[in-house]
Amino acid sequence: MTEISTDQMLSDDNWSDLSQFRDKPVIDAQRLQGYRMGRLLAAMREVDAALCVLVNPISLRYAVDYRNYALFQSHIPTTYLFVSVEGETAIHGCYDPSPAIKNIRPGRPISFFDGGNQLSESARLLADDIVNYLSEMGTDNRRVAVEYVNPSITQALMACGLEVIDGVTISESARLIKSADEIACMKWSIAVAEHALENMKSAIRPGVSELQLWGLINYTNLANNGDWHDGRMLASGARINPWLQEASARRVESGDLVGVDTDMIGPFGYFADISRTFHCGPDKPSKRQKQLYRLALDEVEHNMGLVRPGISFRDFQQRAYPVPEAYHANAYVCILHGVGMCDEYPKVNPVFRGPCLYDGKLEAGMVICIESYMGAVGEPQGVKIEQQLLVTEDGYELLTHYPLEASLLD
């Protein structure tokens, strides 16, 4: 085995940092944070909540730019925020020694990992903390929104006479409309994702493994100070059908299709959600591969043509591309979804998967993704394509610019 030193690996990396090739945007962090907190407070006022307890790591990043141990936080929550309309925002149990917020308080155990069999007692103490916090604010409002917590916490709050509502409805609605600063962050994250795709595509050849290809995408994200990927969505050959199979040790063969979905929480914490399907030479693409590619592209382009402010989610679903029945069973889980710091509200299903779950409509300032997967049950081929768009006053702005696969287009 050829030995390569760590110094050699790092010194030879003259490709991963995108800022070597184009200017990174300068973001007014104070203005960005002020806008996001303003959106949260407005969403709280709409439901008359005195306090919102935020736990989701995406919500912590959105509210106060708290980034530490986000994946750990997603399954063993240790940090939580008190965001209030009238009082000072407080962070509890944070690992960051100098967070952006100055009101730092001890946290109660809110996971089994930390609280063990004493979770009910910890919940009672947390409920006392919330009651005391409301008293500090001098408010008589006892309506509290809570995001993703154990039932024992909800029970303890109700035992204190508090009205408990879902905090997730506040955090999701707050993130719906993006500011110009957020769009600038997102465009940079997308640029990094497309830089990663280019590096990955250049490495596609017979013999390379799916994991090696995925590693290039993940490495590029980290090298540009991005965070993580929600899935390792890369599959080749017969593993591309059905979709949603994560990268494996399988080695790519000549003639294979290679599909990828970035699912990337990138720089600044913003999501870059791009799907492309590539072809591995030297064998030429087959007629069937080209047919599937055209079907997927037709669906994406048709549905992009429906994007405009004011169209309801239900109307969008009804007017969406008529996917041939042979592709219903393996079709992607949605034809449209929101995106911001992750996949967000709304999600619009294909019409053959049941009624739309939401009564809303597209609005200027939303960012959405248009999705397609085409591959019949039992065949060893499939194509995934996805584009990310900003809804504007007169239609949309395409945010993803990575080129389509020319060899699969007639």
Please tell me the distance from the alpha carbon of residue 369 to that of residue 362, in angstroms, as a whole number. Answer: 12
Sign of CA dihedral 56, 57, 63, 64: positive
**Non-local CB neighbours of 361 within 8 Å, separated by 6+ positions:** 309, 310, 311, 312, 313
Q: What is the mean pLDDT of residues 348-367?
A: 94
Q: How many Å separate Cα 46 from the centre of its chain?
A: 25
Q: In the predicted model, what is the mean pLDDT of residues 336-364?
A: 95
The CATH class of the 29-174 domain is alpha beta
Q: Which class for 409: exposed (0-12), middle (13-18), buried (19 or more C-beta within 10 A)? A: exposed
| The pLDDT value given to residue 10 | 67
pLDDT at 357: 86
Q: For residue 6, name the pLDDT band (cuts at 50, 70, 90).
A: low
Taking every pair of C-alpha atoms in the chain, what is the biggest distance, in angstroms? 73
pLDDT digits (tens, 9 = 90+) for 271-311: 999 999 999 999 999 999 999 999 999 999 999 999 999 99
Do residues 142 and 163 make contact, with C-beta atoms less than 8 angstroms apart? yes
Interval 95-134: pLDDT, tens: 887 778 889 999 999 999 999 999 999 999 999 999 999 9
CATH classification of 180-408, choosing from 3.30.1310.10, 3.40.190.10, 3.90.230.10, 3.30.70.600?
3.90.230.10
- Residue 119 is given by DSSP the state H
138-188: per-residue pLDDT in tens?
A: 999 999 999 988 999 999 999 999 999 999 999 999 999 999 999 999 999
What confidence tier does 240 reach under pLDDT thresholds 50, 70, 90?
very high
Contact 291, 383 (CB under 8 A): no
396 backbone dihedrals φ, ψ, rounded to 5°: -155, 160
Instruction: Return d(Cα 105, Cα 107) in angstroms, integer.
Output: 6
Measured CA to CA, the distance from residue 313 to residue 335 in angstroms comes to 11
| Selection from 394, 269, 275, 266 nearest residue 337 by Cα | 275
pLDDT above 90 (res 331):
yes
pLDDT recorded at residue 100: 83
Structural domain boundaries in the chain: 29-174, 180-408
Residue 258: its pLDDT value, please? 98
In this prediction, residue 3 carries a pLDDT of 56
pLDDT digits (tens, 9 = 90+) for 22-37: 999 999 999 999 999 9
Whether 264 shows a pLDDT value over 90: the answer reads yes
Q: What is the pLDDT of residue 9?
A: 61
Tell me the pLDDT of the chain averaged across its residues: 95
The pLDDT assigned to 8 comes to 57
Average pLDDT rounded to a whole number, residues 306-328:
98
2 pLDDT above the threshold of 70:
no
Q: If you average pLDDT over residues 333-361, what whole number do you get?
A: 95
Question: Is a pLDDT exceeding 60 seen at residue 322?
Answer: yes
At 1, is the pLDDT very low, low, confident or very high (cuts 50, 70, 90)? Answer: very low
What are the CA-CA distances from residue 378 to residues 63, 88, 291 (Å)? 46, 57, 16
